[in-house]
């Protein structure tokens, strides 16, 4: 990426000072309990209050950008650029997951407490922190008089945690208007230390694709009656046997292209024999699949479709044979497979025609975006401007994001929140004591500023 040209007023938009108080702005947004899964109980007021806060916190964004409400929970801003040939879409969501009241938080989860340079609260990382760094970057560039080379869209959803219908509507709307995003950046990876064993470099992990998801319900029926005279196998036993047959090896292991490129990029930064091992694995994808599958956990999840039984039901009393029983199984689908194909494999693996397998919901894996194009290079350069010396590497995202709805209309969709996250911080996402450092927010703002000012003309 070539250095950004000065604006028409002769100023360097990257050299302009950032507005202070980014941590306080995030703190204010955290105070709005925008829990989408509890919309029925809480009502829409927290969401509308957050939208009103955005107008107060980012006056230039609301004065100079076009804002369109898409469904009740979608916000679409358009910043007209010098050209509309290669539009950029920056995404985030402002809803959060619920808080378990029995969890022991250091500070109340919706207080937005700032202590020792750290902002605490639900949504600090997922995804109000990434939302704030986008808006701060745009506000700062507007204050500096910058005009982007291309149209810039800000797409914010308020129901990502409950499937993301706002993002679906925004994606469809852009498509209907003939807008084909040149680059899309949503939440996903982060800046992490020691991304793999033996790798000493700090890495910006950029999701170039995401696994699909399927929820299956297994169910079986049986004769009810008294538990004192049970049949050879009950409905509960039949479902339990079916679940037991869904071992980690249910699906074959294959190495996605993103994992191979990730190993190639990390190999020069690994110590001793670790570097040799990574080079070997990068050159032999079939070996990588076998090794990662044996390691289990996250490595195994990178190379195969995972199967996780998550819920069981059946029975009304301890001494009564249930007439029916069921189980819910969650699958994260690897690239190259489909929802229908995974359901068919589960049926074959269970080998029991008396167990019904029904797809409750599902979406196929996304395509994998390229890493050798100008768009990925733009992200890599912006990482260098905000986190000097950091290695930018692709990976396959295992969770679901709103970005999956944009792959239908764009081939360059990436998932990266430009925030530094320790392993403890990553564990706090959807967990206890979710938090982000103010320094990381400031670096995230610089990332987006660098990305916007470097759009090609």
Radius of gyration for the chain, computed over Cα atoms and rounded to the nearest angstrom: 24
How far apart CA 124 and CA 109 sit, in angstroms, is 10
Order of strands across the sheet that contains 306-314: 306-314, 324-333, 212-221, 356-363
How far apart CA 243 and CA 277 sit, in angstroms, is 36
Confirm whether 172 is a catalytic residue. no
What six digits make up the tokens of 341?
Answer: 């194909």
Strand partners for 362? 214
What six digits make up the tokens of 256?
Answer: 């996605």
3-state secondary structure of 71: coil
Nearest to 456 by CA among 342, 335, 365, 373: 373
Instruction: Out of 95, 151, 210, 445, pick the active-site residue.
Output: 95
14 contacts 1 by C-beta, under 8 angstroms: no
How far apart CA 295 and CA 206 sit, in angstroms, is 23
Q: How many residues does the chain have?
A: 457
3-state secondary structure of 424: helix
At which residue do the structure tokens 């700090």 appear? 202
What six digits make up the tokens of 209?
Answer: 């694709």
Confirm whether 95 is a catalytic residue. yes
254 contacts 289 by C-beta, under 8 angstroms: yes
How crowded is residue 62: how many other Cβ atoms within 10 Å of its Cβ? 15
Distance of CA 454 to the CA centre of its chain: 24
80 contacts 158 by C-beta, under 8 angstroms: no
How far apart CA 7 and CA 402 sit, in angstroms, is 33
Instruction: Out of 126, 127, 139, 160, pick the active-site residue.
Output: 160
How crowded is residue 32: how many other Cβ atoms within 10 Å of its Cβ? 23
How crowded is residue 293: how many other Cβ atoms within 10 Å of its Cβ? 21
Strand partners for 216? 329, 359
How far apart CA 20 and CA 125 sit, in angstroms, is 20
Residues annotated as catalytic (active site), given as ranges: 95, 160
């Amino acid at each position: 990426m070539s250095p950004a040209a000065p604006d028409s007023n002769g100023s360097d938009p990257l050299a302009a000072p950032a507005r202070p108080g980014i941590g306080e702005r995030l703190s204010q947004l955290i105070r709005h309990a925008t829990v989408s899964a509890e919309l029925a109980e809480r009502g829409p007021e927290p969401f509308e209050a957050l939208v009103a806060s955005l107008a107060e916190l980012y006056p230039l964004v609301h004065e100079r950008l076009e804002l369109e409400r898409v469904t009740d929970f979608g916000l679409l801003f358009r910043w007209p650029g010098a050209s509309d040939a290669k539009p950029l879409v920056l995404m985030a969501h402002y809803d959060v997951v619920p808080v378990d009241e029995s969890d022991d938080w250091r500070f109340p989860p919706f207080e937005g407490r700032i202590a020792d340079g750290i902002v605490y609260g639900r949504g600090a990382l997922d995804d109000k922190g990434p939302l704030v760094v986008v808006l701060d970057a745009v506000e700062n560039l507007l204050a500096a008089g910058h005009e982007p080379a291309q149209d810039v869209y800000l797409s914010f959803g308020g129901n990502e945690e409950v499937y993301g219908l706002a993002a679906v509507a925004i994606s469809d709307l852009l498509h209907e208007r003939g807008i084909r995003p040149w680059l899309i950046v949503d939440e996903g990876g982060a800046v992490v230390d020691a991304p793999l064993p033996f790798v000493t470099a700090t890495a910006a992990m950029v999701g170039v694709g995401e696994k699909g998801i399927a929820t299956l319900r297994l169910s079986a029926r049986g004769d009810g009656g008294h538990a004192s005279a049970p049949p050879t196998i009950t409905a509960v036993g039949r479902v339990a046997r079916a679940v037991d047959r869904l071992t980690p090896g249910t699906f074959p292991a294959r190495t996605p292209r993103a994992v191979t490129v990730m190993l190639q990029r990390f190999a020069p930064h690994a110590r001793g024999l670790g570097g040799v091992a990574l080079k070997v694995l990068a050159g032999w994808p079939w070996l990588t699949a076998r090794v990662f599958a044996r390691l289990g956990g996250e490595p195994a999840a990178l190379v195969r479709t995972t199967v996780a039984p998550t819920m069981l039901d059946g029975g009304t009393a301890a001494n009564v044979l249930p007439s029916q029983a069921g189980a819910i199984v969650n699958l994260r689908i690897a690239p190259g497979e489909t929802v229908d194909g995974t359901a068919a494999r589960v049926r074959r693996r269970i080998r029991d025609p008396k167990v019904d397998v029904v797809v409750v919901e599902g979406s196929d894996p996304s395509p994998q975006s390229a890493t050798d194009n100008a768009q990925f290079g733009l992200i890599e350069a912006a990482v260098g401007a905000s986190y000097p010396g950091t290695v930018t590497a692709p990976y396959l995202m295992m969770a679901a994001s709103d970005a999956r709805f944009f792959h239908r209309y764009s081939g360059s969709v990436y998932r990266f929140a430009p925030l530094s996250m320790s392993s403890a911080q990553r564990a706090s996402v959807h967990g206890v004591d979710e938090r982000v450092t103010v320094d990381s927010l400031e670096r995230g703002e610089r990332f987006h500023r660098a990305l916007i000012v470097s759009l090609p003309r």
